[in-house]
Chains A and B, each alone.
Chain A
């Protein structure tokens, strides 16, 4: 089932430090995972994705790690900048008879202190 929380987790980091945002997903059959960034007043923006046959994928300043054993996903942001301040969502693709649909986590708010 979906994990729904009433409180948005927050992470506060110093500019230049590395950030790690964690996410637990619910469906062991999910085959695709995405991290989105949402700034205030905007729609979610794609950051990076990973398929279930991988355990790590790197982008520019971001790395996603997937641990299928414990159904855990993490997003690492290197050298965090003030522009990284936003809410970050993980999403899992749940397979359906026709395609799939994304189930979003509740989100984590990242605050970067200058």
Chain B
């Protein structure tokens, strides 16, 4: 079975540019999570969706960040405009449900570098 798929795996961009990260969750999973990982702050939850609806976006750092989930098999995380401090590894994860605690399965991540 395919796990969580993320693209691109690496992204290098210049400050001010728009960045779009993509995620395909595991088929049949109803919840999708976006995380950011840095050495300073560790693994932080940015936003999560349940049945394509955003449930908690309190971790989204600024209005420059936005996330969408137009259907059950696709989500995007957009940063516009990007800044050097956004450089991090961004992970997408999915789980069968969030109504009860359930295991989250992580994708390989997108390493973002903003110059």
Q: Which residues of A contact B (CB under 8 A)?
A: 4, 6, 8, 31-32, 34, 36, 42-46, 49, 51, 89, 93, 96, 98-107
Does B101 lie within 8 Å of A100, measured CB to CB? yes
Q: Does B103 contact A (CB under 8 A)?
A: yes
Chain A to chain B contacts (Cβ below 8 Å), 23 pairs = A4-B41, A4-B42, A34-B104, A42-B109, A43-B93, A43-B106, A43-B107, A46-B105, A89-B43, A96-B55, A96-B56, A98-B98, A99-B50, A99-B97, A99-B99, A99-B100, A100-B98, A101-B98, A102-B33, A104-B43, A104-B44, A107-B42, A107-B43
Whether B42 and A104, one on each chain, are in contact in the complex, defined by CB atoms closer than 8 angstroms, is yes
Report how many A-B pairs have Cβ atoms within 8 Å. Answer: 61
Answer whether residue B31 sits at the interface, using C-beta atoms and an 8 A cutoff.
yes
Chain B nearest Cβ from A99, distance in angstroms: 3
The contact of B106 among A4, A44, A51, by CB within 8 Å, is A44
In addition to A42-B108, A101-B56, 8 A-B residue pairs with Cβ atoms within 8 Å of each other are: A43-B109, A46-B105, A49-B103, A89-B43, A93-B101, A96-B56, A100-B98, A106-B42
